[in-house]
Amino acid sequence: MDQIKHSHVQVRGVKLHVAEIGTGPKVVVFLHGFPEIWYSWRYQMIAVAAAGYRAIAIDCRGYGLSDHSPEPHKTTFNDFADDVVALLDSLSISKAFLVGKDAGVIPAYMIAAASPERVAGIITMGVPFMLPGPMSLQILDKLPKGFYILRWQEPGRAEADFGRFDVKTVIRKIYILFSGSELQVASDDQEIMDLADPSTPLPPWFSEEDLSVYAGLYENSGFRTALQVPYRSFGNDFEITDPKITAPALLIMGEKDYVLKFPGMEDFIRSGEVKNFMPNLEIKFMAEGNHFVQEQLPEEVNQLIISFFNKISI
């Protein structure tokens, strides 16, 4: 971990925290979801750097050590996508490989659809092709009303729920909940944090030291932007008609990922319907994988990333 260098880069009016390792001519940019952060990619960064790539992971604006927008409640997925393109410009990188996980897949898909000349290849984990706007809203409309995404979309509700605990406890509870294979649905007399049994230990692949790193970063940023993007930004339309991603693409899904329980989600992937939007997509299911495959099964995921990108010439 000591080899990873940290800096701040000014883009679009905010300073983004940038973690970086490796000096190869091919660049891989890693985009996190929630409750993740640049550190979620620690294993992948070191592995791809050792394989000859330059690895860059950011804290998205409003997360960790990156600045919030001047008006955090107006932040959207467009900001996240535009920040990445602006970062590439600032670092004089004309084309990069993108790797996204959870909500981090959405800006990756947006960039690949809107600026294909900037994307050499794309790997996503945990969420298949999805863009903000009608497509996302159709999926969310089918979910139970107590599902965590719908609850956290309500202004103030997650803030009050999280506010009962310290930041470390919030991250602990979310990691435990999101590591399961079932949807996280609260009853009318529950909040989402109540679903996590206090006696449940952390997953064996996520240490107390890891939790402390996450907690420290989220103590710095709080959850203002993290609740705005993704949860309160799914309705912001991505204004590209008939979006398609033509770059070489790989989707990695854990067989035990709760996202597969979204209504219609597993069929969307397994039937190949997702390839209507990503015609050059390969799909890999990991039998024991959960929603955090890159941390849970790092060696296997690292091999998938490196072998896939090694096949692509820029």
Query: Which residues are catalytic, by number?
Result: 102, 231, 291
Q: Omega of the bond prior to 248 within 30 degrees of 0, cis?
A: no
HEC string of 144-202 equals: CCCEHHHHHHCCCHHHHHHCCCCHHHHHHHHHHHHCCCCCCECCCCCCHHHHCCCCCCC
Q: Within 10 A of 183 (CB to CB), how many other CB atoms are there?
A: 17
Strand partners of residue 281: 249
Are 251 and 218 a contacting pair, CB within 8 Å?
no
Residue type, 272: G
What tokens appear for 58 in the block? 């950011």
Contacts of 277 (CB under 8 A, 6+ apart): 129, 243, 244, 245
Are 63 and 129 a contacting pair, CB within 8 Å?
no
Residue 193 to residue 266: CA distance in whole angstroms: 26
| 3-class secondary structure, 2 | coil
Maximum Cα–Cα distance across the chain: 54
Contacts of 51 (CB under 8 A, 6+ apart): 306, 310
Tokens 């909940």 found at = 177
Phi, psi of 17 (to 5 degrees): -75, 125
Strand partners of residue 31: 100
Phi, psi of 57 (to 5 degrees): -125, 135
What tokens appear for 96 in the block? 């990069």
